[in-house]
Every structure is written in structure tokens, then in C-alpha cells.
Amino acid sequence: MSVLTWLAPLSSWLVMLHLGAQSTQAHAAARPGLGLFAAHYALPLLTVLLLYWLGLLDVPQSLGLAVCVLAGTGTSAVPWALREGASGGAISHRLAVGAVVALICLPLTALAFATPDVALQRFALTALIMAGAMWLPWLLGRRLARRPLSAAAASLLGKAATLSVLALILLIAWRELPRRPGLPALLAACVLLVLVQGTGGALLDAASGLATTAVIRNLTLATVVLMIGDHAGGAMTALAAFGVVMYLGVWPTSLLARHW
């Protein structure tokens, strides 16, 4: 059993437990509009499809990038959004929308990319992983919120979640990026994908401070899902490449949103 096998679900548990524990009250927010789904999901997925159609991405790489897009907004987007002036309620709502999309779409993605003989098993296993690594720890965190944690305990949980995500990203990058000779082309595809996400986010959320939530995706959840797929090797390399470009894309997205 590799370090990644237990670090990915552990990181997901810590992140979702922390997120649930912070959900002490419901925040009123408008229903997500078509612009949100276009900027965060439709246009990025069409970009991945176009790159595959042009032969710039293979099937595993396309799967990896599609899962990154569908995994929803990553929790590391929170400090960026707060710095840009977004409200806590708006950020919580954006994370919740991404979680719902992931719960529905990621099992369907696993079904679409799996070989026919194991397609239903992949769908069921992905759905179970989504419930176990995302929904269950969030519910437990909500229960913790009924008796609020002490400031020290909440801070410790938050630091553990942050460190687990950082360790996961560094481990994937160290393991996967040196393996593929075609990395420059993959990085170029990731740059284009992040540009599409960042431009859409800036157009949609220039005033709300949420522009960078379109760029920063939930790589922890994407890792957990990709580990069980038929194309895990190439898909994980695409995830690692996307992760590198994703964080570099935060600054131009933020700058574009401020000057739009």
C-alpha cells in the first residue's frame, strides 16, 4: 500500500470534517445561475473535449482534467476569496454547489470512462467513495458544530487539513511529473484550461470576490476518485500538471477580476 493510498482519503476527511465543523449556520444565497455552471463546468469541459479531439490529450489525460474540473471548488480557494472581499456565506455556498456537482457528476464520469465490463462497478465504487470521503465527514463535522470546538481545537483541525492537502499535492507532483516525456504539451493544455476557467470566473464574479474559485479545484477529491480508475497513471499525471498551473493561474485571474 503506497503513501498516496491512505493520504488522499485522510486529507479528504480532514478537509471535509473541518468544513463541516465551520458550518455553524446556514447562509442565505441566491440559486446558482447558468453563468456559474458555464464558467466553472461547461466551458472548461468543452476545452478538454476540444483538446482531446485535436489529439493534444489522450484518454487518461482527458479523464484526469475532466475529474479536476468536476471535483468542485477547492477549500484552498477560501483564503484567496476572503482576501478579494468575498463574504463567508458566498464562499460556503460556492463550495456547497461544487460538492453537489461532484456528488452527481463524478460517478457518471467514472461510468463513462470505464471499460464496459467494469463500468457499473466503477460507478458504484466512485459513488461510495464520494459518500465516504466527502459526505460522511462533512456530516460528522456538522455534528461537531452543534457543540462548537475550542479555538485551539478548531485551529489544530484547520492546520491539519491544510498540511494534508499540501503534502498530497507535493507527493503527486514529485511522483508523477517526471514520468511522462510529453509533459510540455500537457502543461500547455493545462495553461489553456486554466485561462478558460480564470477568464470565466473573472467575468462572472468580478464584483463578488469569488473569481478565483473558478480556477482552484478540489484536487484532494479528484485524487481519491482517480486512484480507482482504469487510467490512473496518465490521469494522475494530468492532475499533477494541472495542479502546478492551477495555482499559478490565481494571480492573473485575480488581476483580471479587479480591473474588469
SS3 state of residue 30: coil
Helices of type H across 84-182: 88-113, 119-130, 136-146, 151-176
pLDDT at 146 (0 to 100): 72
SS3 state of residue 245: helix
C-alpha cell at 213: 474559485
Yes or no: say if 111 and 122 are a contact pair by the CB < 8 Å rule.
yes
Yes or no: say if 24 and 142 are a contact pair by the CB < 8 Å rule.
no
Mean of pLDDT values over 39-49: 96
Residue 196 CA to residue 27 CA, distance in Å, equals: 29
- Angle, helices 151-176 vs 219-226, to 10°: value is 50
pLDDT at 68 (0 to 100): 94
Provide the b/e sequence for 107-144 (b: ≥16 CB within 10 Å). Answer: bebbbebbeeeeeeebbebbbebbeebbeebbeebbeb
pLDDT at 176 (0 to 100): 63
Q: Which of 38-42, 224-228, 243-247, 249-253 bottoms out in mean pLDDT, i.e. has the lowest?
A: 224-228
pLDDT at 26 (0 to 100): 45
Q: Is the pLDDT of residue 225 over 70?
A: yes
Which of 154, 155, 162, 156 shows the shortest CA–CA distance to 11?
162
Q: Is the pLDDT of residue 43 over 60?
A: yes
Q: Cβ-count burial of 53 within 10 angstroms (0-12 exposed, 13-18 middle, 19+ buried)? A: exposed
Q: Is the pLDDT of residue 115 over 80?
A: no
pLDDT bracket for residue 232 (50, 70, 90): low
Q: Is the pLDDT of residue 1 over 50?
A: no
Which of 15, 20, 19 shows the shortest CA–CA distance to 220?
15
